Amino acid sequence: QVQLVESGGGVVQPGMSLRLSCAASGFTFSNYAIHWVRQAPGKGPEWVTVVSYDGRNKNYAASVKGRFTVSRDNSKSTLYLQMNSLRADDTAVYYCARPRISRVRDDAYDIWGQGTMVTVSS
Amino acid sequence: DIVMTQSPDSLAVSLGERATINCKSSQSVLYSLNNQNYLAWYQQKAGQPPKLLIYWASTRESGVPDRFSGSGSGTDFTLTISSLQAEDVAVYYCQQYYGTLLTFGGGTKVEIK
């Protein structure tokens, strides 16, 4: 079935780095932009970043710009999020999410992963 | 950034009664070229990712019960649950996908009275 599976979360100290992965299956990954969305405990979702279907175009939320880098390997159907200089306010569940329509960046998300928890604490 | 403001923060409704959730955007999310509102509604149950209910402000996602409906245009939107069921207990979020930076509302928690 169509699914996204995140991995790579964990507990890290402030200032450290972490790389998240999002493995896709059940659809043609290379046809879809993919987004990262995070949700801090007890809060609403917050959009983090998006990469276009071909990896050429990327956008970031102001809160992560310059610290986080999104990338994808279409040959492996996998999305990555490299997170550097982590801060306590980056603590959240990180989800990857797929827009409904192929090759469209901005659209409602019909597929979400189960999420991976990132905790930044000393 | 487009700011999404939801009201109320929480709502307690009796089983079988109507629940109404409002969402207001700080600027219009209506795209004139295709006359579509770039507004979605999601349902999130405890420990689960959000689930898409409505897109284009009023189009129900496949498999979503018809007691869920969306309405509105421009900057003001509403999600209505016509007859609340026990399984509808959740937090509901609106999201705009008009702007370069997508944004969500703060959420409305729906409970049974």
Are the beta carbons of A108 and B97 separated by less than 8 Å? yes
Res A105: pLDDT: 87
> What is the 8-class DSSP label of residue A55?
S
Question: Is B93's Cβ below 8 Å from some Cβ in A?
Answer: yes
Those residues of chain B that have pLDDT short of 70 are none
Which strand (E) or helix (H) includes residue A69? strand A68-73
Instruction: Tell the burial category of A65 from Cβ atoms under 10 Å away from its Cβ (0-12, 13-18, 19+).
Output: exposed
Query: What is the pLDDT confidence band of residue A58, given thresholds at 50, 70 and 90?
Result: very high
Return d(Cα B99, Cα A29) in angstroms, integer.
Answer: 24
Q: What angle do CA A19, A42, B100 make, to 5 degrees?
A: 60
Q: Is the pLDDT of residue A35 over 90?
A: yes
In this prediction, residues A79-102 reach a mean pLDDT of 97
Nearest CA among B95, B75, B78 for reference residue B30: B75
Res A18: pLDDT: 98
In this prediction, residues A32-36 reach a mean pLDDT of 97
- Six token digits for residue A26: 């059940």
- pLDDT digits 0-9 by tens, A40-56: 999 999 999 999 999 99
Return d(Cα B27, Cα B74) in angstroms, integer.
Answer: 8
Distance from CA of B104 to the nearest CA of A (A): 6
- pLDDT digits 0-9 by tens, B33-48: 999 999 999 999 999 9
Are the beta carbons of B61 and A110 separated by less than 8 Å? yes
Q: Is the pLDDT of residue A17 over 90?
A: yes
CB-CB contact of B26 with B19 (8 Å): no
Distance from CA of B82 to the nearest CA of A (A): 23
Are the beta carbons of B105 and A44 separated by less than 8 Å? yes
Residue A1 CB neighbours (<10 A): 6
Instruction: Tell the burial category of B15 from Cβ atoms under 10 Å away from its Cβ (0-12, 13-18, 19+).
Output: exposed
